[in-house]
Amino acid sequence: MLTTAAKTTSIIMLLAAAAMVSSWLITVANIPGMITAMLADFMDNKILLMFLINIIVLIVGTAMDVMPTILILTPVLMPIVQQAGIDPVYFGFMFVFNNCIGLLTPPVGTVLNVAAGVGKIAMDDIIKRVMPFMWVEIILLLLLTLFPDLVLVPLKWLTLK
């Protein structure tokens, strides 16, 4: 039992270390600064800006874990979101939802790798079984981007006094 636990832990720790290296490389390459410069032109159109942010977070989320992604991209994207007039709660929800999709997306797909390691399943098999759910999540992401009120209206109902 100890050997199995050590093997599983080593897989998870190797993935966490790779995510930390990726976050260091992204920071050193000044990718956050480039993202800010790229998105500044789209501040007038909230939906297009959110589509671009979704794409960026999904791409970064496929290569990094959630915590480094939040720590690196939130300070970069939050001022842009605020200047564009996008609700910060909506942005936070979408950001976390994007990261959850990224955890299931190959090539890194931290959750996929852990599930494959723990379940002793080939990565190809687990990807095939997860893909229908990923398509549903992506469709939901598109709907939530096009119709922000799907997130904001229930929030307003819950915060009525």
Q: Are 49 and 15 in contact (CB under 8 A)?
A: no
Position 59 scores a pLDDT of 86
Position 83 scores a pLDDT of 84
Report the alpha-carbon distance of residue 16 to residue 149 in Å, rounded.
35
What amino acid is encoded at 89 in this protein?
A: V
Position 142 scores a pLDDT of 94
Position 161 scores a pLDDT of 59
The alpha carbon dihedral of 36, 111, 63, 150 has a sign of: negative
Position 19 scores a pLDDT of 67
Position 135 scores a pLDDT of 92
Position 93 scores a pLDDT of 92
Question: What kind and span of H or E run contains 34?
Answer: helix 31-39
Tell me the HSE value of 55 on the side-chain side, using a 13 A CA sphere.
8
Provide the residue-wise pLDDT of the chain in tens; the chain has 161 residues: 888 888 878 877 777 777 677 767 777 887 777 877 888 788 888 899 999 999 988 888 887 778 778 877 887 888 888 888 899 999 999 999 998 898 888 777 778 877 887 888 888 888 888 889 989 999 999 999 999 988 888 877 877 65
Reading the block at residue 160, the tokens are: 């009525």
pTM above 0.85, yes or no: no
Q: Are 36 and 76 in contact (CB under 8 A)?
A: yes
What amino acid is encoded at 9 in this protein?
A: T
In angstroms, how far is CA 102 from the centroid of its own chain?
Answer: 5
Max Cα–Cα distance, the chain, nearest Å = 57
Query: Phi and psi (nearest 5°) for 65?
Result: -75, 170
Tell me the HSE value of 74 on the side-chain side, using a 13 A CA sphere.
16
